[in-house]
Structure 1
């Protein structure tokens, strides 16, 4: 049992509609001479990058934009980003986008002044301190990357996804403006929204959870059912976007400090081998994983059922798990997300290999209140392949 645990967040968080407009005054505080603006192709095409650049124009600072991010990032893309921003002499990184863009931005800021980054990328060394200041602005409600100490990248050689973890990955400032999420497409809204819920529920039951982290996870889970369908089906509903921004942000804080577990461990190999989006993988696997792991945390399942307004199971606690699992599975159809691995093009013959890879992710499995063996992981994949829960 852990005797003590730190609780970390960015030095400052600014949340609210219109918060984006304060970016110039915040940039000015850092005394930067050149800004590295990191984002993705989608936001560039949507005109968001130009809008941000115009917002910063009164500062009369050169802005180097890097928007080569498409899909989920790889270590090779990260190295390319670091080289570009370093060669340009940027001394402030601004990351705007979903989890991919923010992961690239905050890792670039952390490693910018390091001479040899290979040991950091291989996790042989932990990043001690950030190289240059970093500001993050999320445009989706899902990853909570603006408040987390981890960043996920694809290893193209090993065909796996690996996470870098360090307090240096926390930004100096997180600006959460829910208005930035209004342009988020329907499927991305659904997948990222359920991803945020995955962070909340996994961190709530995590071995490393504390009463403090559970406060954040609980609030996120209570808000989720009130806003997810509205945000997905009525994307311009600003109130729903605000609600889901809170879900993502609060769940991110809980994730950052309590960690996540088996759902993420099983999702990573799917991303590495089949390039399935992280949020989609988490959403699909969640009911199948909790059908197994939830058996060892029934008290928390009673809590979660109440948070989700599924009923009061205090008199019949063992029934709470079934209610939660059915709810998680129903979300897939309700939000038009895939309901089986087969639907996603996963080959049944690859399941043993995926299980072997997932079984090695001890950082996450050890944080799960259930001893998942490779054989048990394989059985979860097999049920998820067919899309059948009990």
Structure 2
């Protein structure tokens, strides 16, 4: 049980889950009496035809709409500021975000900042967003980030060559609409990276310092569902049962992440995204076994549970063997899903590892939530092992 005396548990105003849930979007917009809609997405989702699908669905409302899809890869603070300013000039008073984590992070942060004139303090992280007057509706098209149910958004800081997270309750949308049909067109590579990203959220939040009985309940269910669906979702993307399963994994893990937080895997992934623009899900998937080989030593009881959730065996009598079983599973997963297994494969320069380690060692928000004291030297050793590969 948690040693915390009390805790909050936060979610969006509503979470709507199910096949064809997208069709309820017009009703949600009618209720909010919007004068002008901002539809935020990315080039990949636009190319898959999903942006046009939303436009066609909303056309009978006869509400003016501004469409912004200039998101390529992971967004920066500069892109966020430009988006907010442009949509302020357009007079938008409701934001709909459709896409993966990047598009949803831009959408929900834009909604929270549209009514604010001075953005600098919020973008720098020196001020927390404490209010939001613009409604926000999010529709995920991948099963991984859980951004539709979380209170954080991640952006690249180009000057510092790292990623930073903004955290605020105002980043929770009014409505999260999770329609598995929107994920069917997701490419195999993205399905794999985002799917393992969701598992990272589940396992890290399960062992987190701030974990509670409620967050562990969501993380546990996500980890049990994950091995049942991930391989089929990646290698047989049209399988709707697998897509529904992975949408559940992503959503449940996201809720756990939103309330318990994540840890060292994410802390070490941020510098890789900032300097080398490695996709967040790919970085998390690759680093997870290397990090847990170290940090899992202080989570013996939890590792016994995780091994059972993943159907790796019963380690109640030999609890110290559970971590090895979990780590072997995570290494095997990289191969089964055709994900990279070393930093060298991703073009990381070995000479940059000390800089990456120094940057990761400063991500106190996440490292302090990890039940293992990671020093700079230990972080560097993890990067070195991940560079060489298993």
Compute the TM-score of the two structures, normalised by the length of structure 2: 0.99
Partner of 1:128: 130
Partner of 2:381: 379
CA distance in 1, matches of 2:287, 2:132: 34
Partner of 1:358: 360
CA distance in 2, matches of 1:131, 1:76: 23
TM superposition shift of 1:84: 1.4
The CA deviation string for residues 266-311 of structure 1, in whole angstroms up to 9 with x for no partner, is: 0000000100000000000000000000000100000000000000
The CA deviation string for residues 161-186 of structure 1, in whole angstroms up to 9 with x for no partner, is: 00000000000000000000000000
CA distance in 1, matches of 2:389, 2:334: 11
Alignment of 1:213-232 (within 5 A): 213-232=215-234
Partner of 2:334: 332
CA distance in 1, matches of 2:85, 2:119: 11
CA distance in 2, matches of 1:344, 1:5: 40
Partner of 1:137: 139
CA distance in 1, matches of 2:376, 2:197: 24
CA distance in 2, matches of 1:218, 1:51: 35
CA distance in 2, matches of 1:129, 1:329: 43
CA distance in 1, matches of 2:266, 2:96: 27
Alignment of 1:36-51 (within 5 A): 36-51=38-53
Alignment of 1:1-390 (within 5 A): 2-388=4-390
CA distance in 1, matches of 2:277, 2:42: 17
CA distance in 1, matches of 2:132, 2:236: 39
CA distance in 2, matches of 1:292, 1:271: 22
TM superposition shift of 1:60: 0.5
How many pairs are equivalent? 388
Contact 1:200 1:251 in 2 (8 A): yes
CA distance in 2, matches of 1:323, 1:372: 22
CA distance in 1, matches of 2:70, 2:320: 49
CA distance in 2, matches of 1:126, 1:117: 11
Superposed CA RMSD in Å reads 0.6
Tell me the secondary structure at the aligned position of residue 365 of structure 2.
Answer: helix
CA distance in 2, matches of 1:337, 1:131: 41
CA distance in 2, matches of 1:156, 1:356: 17
CA distance in 1, matches of 2:359, 2:4: 27
Tell me the secondary structure at the aligned position of residue 163 of structure 1.
Answer: strand
The CA deviation string for residues 188-244 of structure 1, in whole angstroms up to 9 with x for no partner, is: 000000000000000000000000000000000000000000000000000000000
The CA deviation string for residues 86-140 of structure 1, in whole angstroms up to 9 with x for no partner, is: 1100100000000000000000000011110110011100000113000000000
Compute the TM-score of the two structures, normalised by the length of structure 1: 0.99
CA distance in 2, matches of 1:102, 1:45: 17
Tell me the secondary structure at the aligned position of residue 41 of structure 2.
Answer: strand
CA distance in 1, matches of 2:212, 2:114: 34
Tell me the secondary structure at the aligned position of residue 226 of structure 2.
Answer: helix
* Structure 1: runs of 5+ lacking an equivalent: none
CA distance in 2, matches of 1:101, 1:222: 28
Contact 1:294 1:301 in 2 (8 A): yes
TM superposition shift of 1:44: 1.4
CA distance in 2, matches of 1:311, 1:180: 35
CA distance in 1, matches of 2:10, 2:262: 16
CA distance in 1, matches of 2:100, 2:196: 14
Tell me the secondary structure at the aligned position of residue 96 of structure 1.
Answer: strand
